[in-house]
Amino acid sequence: MTMPVRHHRGGAMQARPMGWARNPLTEFDQLLSEMSGLLESTVGGAAPAVAWTPLADVTESDNAFHVEIELPGVKSKDINVEANGQELVVTGEIKEKERKGVLRRSTRRTGAFEYRLRLPGEVDTEKINAQMSDGVLAITVPKAEVAKPRHIEISETSESTESSG
């Protein structure tokens, strides 16, 4: 029985049995890789590497915005956090590990990553705090005093002065 094959950018062929479970994200990454190879061959020379975006949660409290970015296996020294006005940019790189033996399957992302976030309000960039714990980068971005909500008291005036004309 013959097996269907797939042609890859490097010209190598890979056998894939029928009914093999497909992961749409893996297929998408593979398509991006193939398109990048096409761009390289068309333009000539190396195309710039496409950075991937890590998973993140963004929450807002009365005093700050809280960003949690999943970066398992990344050391804090390999991460760069920058704030410019209302924009927060987190960049870095996950280096591929040296392995012994034959790699049978890999779904972990490697290479350059970039997470960009435009915050909806004014922030105090001088007081931003970032901490790395258990593969999660937690960034607290305090709101600027101008952007913090405040309660306004309403005073009542008496309507005893009526004008008659």
pLDDT per residue, tens digit, the chain (165 aa), is: 555 555 555 554 455 555 555 667 777 777 877 777 676 666 655 444 568 899 999 999 989 999 999 999 888 899 999 999 899 999 999 888 888 888 778 778 888 999 999 998 889 999 999 999 999 999 999 998 876 677 788 888 877 655 555
Residue 25 burial (10 A CB sphere; 0-12, 13-18, 19+)? exposed
pLDDT score recorded for residue 64: 94
CA torsion 30-34-35-36 (nearest 10°) is: 100
pLDDT score recorded for residue 68: 97
Q: What is the pTM of this model?
A: 0.60
pLDDT score recorded for residue 21: 58
Give CA–CA dist 87/122, Å, rounded.
10
Give CA–CA dist 120/148, Å, rounded.
12
pLDDT score recorded for residue 101: 84
pLDDT score recorded for residue 100: 85
Distance of CA 98 to the CA centre of its chain: 25
Give CA–CA dist 65/124, Å, rounded.
11
